[in-house]
Amino acid sequence: MKRMMQGERYRKSLGLTELVSLGIGGTIGSGIFVVPGIAAGILGPYSLLAWIIVAISASCVLLSLAWLLQKTGFRSSFYTLFSETFGEGTSAALIILYLSSGILGIGTIAAGIGQYLSFFGIGGILFLELFIIGLFCAVNLAGITLSGFTENILTALKVIPLAVIAVLLLPAIELENLVPLVPITATGFISTVLIVYWPFTGFEISAIPLDEMKDPRIVPKALVIVMLVVSGLYLLLNISLIGSVGSKVLAASPAPVATAAGFVFSRSGSIVAVIGIIAMLSALNAYLIGGSRVLHSTAVTRHISWLEGLNPRGAPAIPLLLISLLSAVSLLFSNSFEKLAVLSVLATLVPYLFFCIAAFLVVPEIPKRMIAFAGIAGSGGLILLSFLL
């Protein structure tokens, strides 16, 4: 990426902790509070295999992205990574698709927050969803130092309780709950893998704000830590959930984590609802940071002057306002959490696919190219199957 004139005004305040928080924040959102029940309902204990397979597939995408950035000396934006391999037109289309996925993702998260707020009997949900988007836009306009600190706090407040719930449920596990009672089917397995990919998207946000990092060379380390934490937590939590209450009970519950947590906490519903809101606030903040930086770096590379400027706090003000506005508009068109989530995942998988294709084409080492090819097969296969099922 051409170094932008405004780059010196960025605040280089992001270290390893902040990058890991961004990646975890963008990944662990609403999905983990909903998907375990859906997946268990389709495959029962076999759904654990889907979580492992998706973790491997997402890791292949993650490694492909890390190798691409490493090859360019950690100087390239997503737009440049794509354009150097596929040309300007394809790159522009992929960036538009990625930004669309982020906008839909923010809308999805806001809609999810609204659903959890309604759990407490709060009215005026749409207004509150729009207010939350505006609030976090304001936090980001105040600069990366504040938004990064906010992400650190929110990430800790959601990861620690989820890990505690998973560990406390381990003694309640009954081995018979982990024994499959129905045979696995190809259609059921593919459907479950598609659903489970939803909670894994967002890890790439760790690699986006290159100009705000103290040392961009820590990106691969941050990405690996993110995937290890996310995959480990997801697998541990799903084993605890299925093992403690069984697949049928989990599938019948609209709040599977809360249902299982009832074994440990008397007021599990309220506790898990609060954790869920925190998780989604964290994801919304991370998506705003990532989307605004992708839009800004693309504007600088393409010389779109009205999007290039930074405010006195070193934040890309116009991109932040534009993405927040479009996210709010998406809520006005559809406040359906499920619809927005499906569209967001499909829009995200296409750039993931092209990260892997680019790595396969430009990275010379055979073992790395094999991993990139596995990422191509995983993300490309999911895109194809999503239209066939």
CB-based burial label for 27 (10 Å; 0-12, 13-18, 19+):
buried
Structural domain contains residue 22: no
Domain enclosing residue 329, as ranges: 41-388
Task: Please give the structure tokens belonging to residue 298.
Answer: 């693309």
User: 23-40: per-residue pLDDT in tens?
Assistant: 999 999 878 888 898 899
Q: What does the mean pLDDT of the chain come to?
A: 88
| pLDDT computed for residue 8 by the predictor | 45
Are the C-beta atoms of 54 and 191 separated by less than 8 Å? no
pLDDT, average across residues 45-72: 94
Number of CB atoms found within 10 A of residue 80's CB: 18
- Residue 133 and residue 323: Cα distance in Å, rounded? 10
- Give the pLDDT band of residue 337 (cuts 50, 70, 90): low
pLDDT, average across residues 235-242: 95
- Give the pLDDT band of residue 339 (cuts 50, 70, 90): low
Count how many domains the chain has. Answer: 1
127 CB-near residues (< 8 Å, 6+ apart) = none
Structural domain contains residue 208: yes
pLDDT, average across residues 126-131: 90
Distance of CA 50 to the CA centre of its chain: 17
Structural domain contains residue 7: no
Q: Which of 189, 104, 100, 108 has the alpha carbon at shortest distance from 385?
A: 189
Structural domain contains residue 101: yes
pLDDT, average across residues 296-304: 93
Structural domain contains residue 109: yes
Are the C-beta atoms of 178 and 350 separated by less than 8 Å? no
User: 346-375: per-residue pLDDT in tens?
Assistant: 788 899 999 999 999 999 999 999 999 999
pLDDT, average across residues 221-245: 95
Structural domain contains residue 34: no
Calculate what percentage of the chain has a pLDDT beyond 90.
60
Q: Which of 181, 218, 174 has the alpha carbon at shortest distance from 18?
A: 218
Task: Please give the structure tokens belonging to residue 221.
Answer: 């380390």
Task: Write the Ramachandran bin of 344: left for phi over 0, alpha for psi from -120 to 50, otherwise beta.
Answer: alpha
User: Angle 26-201-244 (CA atoms, 0-180°, nearest 5)?
Assistant: 90
Task: Please give the structure tokens belonging to residue 83.
Answer: 């354009």
| pLDDT computed for residue 252 by the predictor | 86
CB-based burial label for 15 (10 Å; 0-12, 13-18, 19+):
middle
| pLDDT computed for residue 389 by the predictor | 63
User: Residue 197: enclosing H or E segment and its boundaries?
Assistant: helix 186-197
Name the pTM for this structure: 0.90
Structural domain contains residue 35: no
- Residue 39 and residue 91: Cα distance in Å, rounded? 34
| pLDDT computed for residue 358 by the predictor | 96
Task: Give strand pairing partners of 213.
Answer: 14
Structural domain contains residue 307: yes
CATH number, residue 65: 1.20.1740.10
